[in-house]
Amino acid sequence: MLRFVLISLVAAGCMPKTFQEDALPVFVERPVYATYPFDFNSVWEATLEVVGDAAPLQTFEPDRGYILTNWVNGSSDQIYKNYGGTRIPESVRYRLEVEVVNTGNGTEVKMVNEEQIEKDMISIDAVFTGNVYHWIDIPSSTKKEHALLEKIGALIDQRQGGGNYDLQY
């Protein structure tokens, strides 16, 4: 019995440390909304300009009030590599999906950031499918979306003058 306990303790001590990837946040879609007290065309033009400056556009449909950007490489706002106590942001890719809708008493902009991080199959304990690296969906911190919605509001204010808008977090 003592031998079994000693072998168990030694085996437990030899267990590999968990990877940082083991603690990646679970993906949750986090849309961010802003309602501007302006007409649809003013908000659409400002949104198209701000989002177009932030990322190359893949699709934009003015009739539907829909914008989808291409993938953009950037840094994570919430996932870091830990090297010697430093916090270096992980590289991510993201794309934005934006909907502009006339609500009757203003115009609402809904922004969703699809963010992904690239990890190797060993770190994430994936089955080999021919690719060593996989893109994994991670939740956005929503910082990018908030910044863009504030830029849209500032641009509309600059063009139209004054206006209170509500960012819903």
Of the CA atoms within 13 Å of residue 79, those in its CB half-sphere come to 25
- Residue 108 in domain: yes
- Residue 41 in domain: yes
- Residue 66 in domain: yes
Torsion of CA 148, 153, 159, 163, to 10 degrees: 180
Q: Write out pLDDT tens, residues 60-78.
A: 999 999 999 999 999 888 8
101, pLDDT greater than 90 = yes
- Residue 5 in domain: no
Q: How many domains does the chain have?
A: 1
Are 92 and 71 spatial neighbours (Cβ–Cβ below 8 Å)? no
- Residue 102 in domain: yes
The pLDDT score that the predictor gives to residue 20 is: 46
- Residue 4 in domain: no
For residues 82 and 11, which has the higher predicted lDDT (pLDDT)?
82
- Residue 3 in domain: no
The pLDDT score that the predictor gives to residue 149 is: 94
The DSSP bridge pattern shows strands 66-69 and 107-120 to be unpaired
Q: What is the CATH number of the domain that holds 104?
A: 3.30.530.50
Q: DSSP assignment of 7-67, as one string?
A: HHHHHHHTSPPPPGGGGPPPP----EEEEESS-HHHHHHHHHHHHHHHS-EEEEETTTTEE
Q: Write out pLDDT tens, residues 116-168.
A: 888 766 565 556 566 667 788 888 889 999 999 999 999 998 888 766 666 65
The domain in which residue 85 lies consists of 18-168
